[in-house]
A and B are shown apart, each in its own frame.
Chain A
Amino acid sequence: MQTVFSIAVDALAYGMVLFVISIGLSVTMGLMRVVNLAHGAFAMIGGYIASYAARDLGLGYGIALMIAVFGTIVIAIPIERLLYRRIYGAPELTQVLMTIGITFCIIGIANYVFGPTLKTIPLPSRLQGSVDLGFRSIATHRLFAILCGLAVAAALWYAIEKTAFGVKLRAAVDNAAMAAALGVRTEIVYAVSFAIAVGLAALGGVLGAELLPVEPYYALRYMVTFLVVVSVGGAGSIPGALVACLLLGGIDTAGRYLMPEFGEFFFYLAVIAIVCVFPRGLAGRTR
């Protein structure tokens, strides 16, 4: 029972971190049809900035988190304008080539600027202990990650379903040409949602630094995981991404707890099974 509970908590925390990072990728992929392999690199930039702000400048955790999110967006916007804009609508392979190139560059630069060592983000004392839930106690940081994930999911759901921007975004996802003809400025919608996606990636990178440690090869190591989550959930779908994150987080965590010697064997077996049964992802729509 103890094992089941700790697997469940860890799986939930891991799944939520995955969700925060990859929901941005899911939205950009559904919206702009860009296979963005560099998404993990933005999460890594967020982690580095937060680590620098909290450890070397001695700022508080919350402030470091803010700086990381905004800093990453500031770094990402010129990259979007100069490089991504040229590959919208290009063939998939071109996009893969370009975004892998961007990832390599970011890894090389991070390695040069911050050195090849692992970077930690010191937690404030309030997040370090554990919380008593009455019948069990769980690590506060895990609870914090879970709550942040839920908050992000709720905020995104509200923004997309209830606000004017959400209406434009959904219109642009479904039919960009028609939305543009009806007066939606799709360029701005694209830019804003790209910025939000990158900001969420940075947020996830900071929140998940305990589970996915920040180091120069972070971008390559977890790139596959984020891609897998998006395609299992179905690109552009928030509920799909949430279910996929919880499912895959659960399978991965349970596999690591119960059969550590098999590594990621069961994770990828499950991925193959799911994609074979749902070729468009769990919540994918026919186009």
Chain B
Amino acid sequence: MATMNEALARAHGNRRKFGRDLVGLSVILGLAVVGYLLFPNNLALLTRMTAIALLVLSLDLVTGYCGVATLGHAALFGTGAYAAGIAAVHFGITDPLLMLACGIFGGIVAGLLCGVVILRAHGLPQLVLSIALIHLFHEFANKASSWTGGSDGLAGIAPDPLLGLFAFDLWGRTAYVFGIVLLAVAFTLLRLIVRSPFGMLCRGIKEDPIRIRAMGAAPKVTLVKMYMISGAVAGAGGALNAISTQVVGLDSLSFTLSAESLVMLVLGGTGSLFGALTGTIVFMFFEDIVSAANPFHWLTMVGALLIAVVLFAPKGLYGTSAGAVTRWRETRR
């Protein structure tokens, strides 16, 4: 009887989670339509937000689900962007889907490399290793200027029409739709991954790696695998950025981008894909509005926002509001 109850509960839980997947997906698509209708002249910003959202989602995989603190995650994003860009400029691979595949592959390789190095330490030294890595990637891209264009950036990326049908127009409509579809697909896949036994294992390693090892699993191998998945997502984001802006700059491999993506993630709330999306949208809109309103004070305002979040919404915007909703439901019951 007990087992049956459990099975029922599990089925119910799964159905509820499946429902949340559908809600999340429809929220993404709904927001995409609203964004398209509200800012038809600002699609470039929205596409950049989509690309950054992929980066923040990917960071959430290693930080929120595995507990690895990193300030160097842009290494995966930038490698994906450069992989797609180099494929287009130097090898003539201009089909957007093939460029995307190159970006994903580049991201996976970078993820393997970063994962192996970063996972050697814990806590503060881990943070410092990730910082050193992103600087190494940055300097390397700067030095290998015959491939990457150095500080001038890699220009001359001209993607073919998508599927041979939809050309990348001046308004960025195609790029926007391409990005949103990419984000929706990535989100759905990631929801499946984080809920799979593999995702649970990662959460377990975050909680107590020693116990997981005692149970017979290999924490490090698992985390490196997660790092590679994360690299695929971030690489896809980088490739999207390369395809939509048609140029790859050194800023996509910068410490600033890494730090900003971590800030966005913590702002939204770690350990939940919805939190990553919320943080990206709020931070990028806030930054855009404030820097347009007053270019002198935007940094102060962003700083004040971060302090306010730590003081009043310590679990991030999404985490805190989700907690409040749960409490409200329980008191009503």
Contacts and interface: CB of A to CB of B under 8 A. Distances in A.
A144 B309 CA distance: 43
Given A111-B296, A227-B127, A279 B311 contact: no
Interface in A71-119: 83, 86-87, 90, 92-94, 96-98, 100-109, 111-112
B262 interface: yes
Contacts of B297: 108, 112
A104 B310 contact: no
A87 B266 CA distance: 14
Contact of A231 (B124, B255, B300, B314): B124
A8 interface: no
Nearest to A235: B124
A264 B142 CA distance: 11
A271 B129 CA distance: 7
A271 B117 contact: no
A97 B135 contact: no
Nearest to B310: A98
Nearest to B270: A93
Contacts of B46: none
B310 A112 contact: no
Contacts of B69: 92-93, 96
Given A100-B263, A227-B124, A227-B127, A272 B300 contact: no
B interface residue count range (under 10 / 10 to 19 / 20 to 34 / 35 or more): 35 or more
Contacts of A109: 300
Given A93-B63, A108-B299, A228 B136 contact: no
A276 interface: yes
A102 B263 CA distance: 13
Interface string A203-220: 000000000000000000
B267 interface: yes
Contacts of B125: 231, 275, 279-281
Contact of A224 (B131, B143, B302): B131
A7 interface: no
A101 B124 contact: no
Contacts of A280: 125
B117 to A, nearest CB: 6
Which 3 A-B pairs have CB atoms at the shortest separation, nearest pair first?
A108-B300, A104-B303, A101-B306
Given A100-B263, A264-B139, 12 more contacts: A101-B303, A101-B305, A104-B302, A107-B299, A107-B300, A228-B131, A261-B143, A262-B143, A263-B139, A268-B133, A271-B129, A271-B132
Interface of A: 29, 35, 83, 86-87, 90, 92-94, 96-98, 100-109, 111-112, 224, 227-228, 230-232, 235, 261-265, 268-269, 271-272, 275-276, 279-281
13 contacts: A98-B307, A101-B306, A102-B307, A104-B300, A105-B300, A105-B303, A228-B131, A268-B135, A272-B117, A272-B129, A275-B125, A279-B122, A279-B125
Interface of B: 63, 69, 71, 117, 120-125, 127-129, 131-133, 135-136, 139-140, 142-143, 255, 259, 262-263, 266-267, 270, 296-307, 309-311, 314
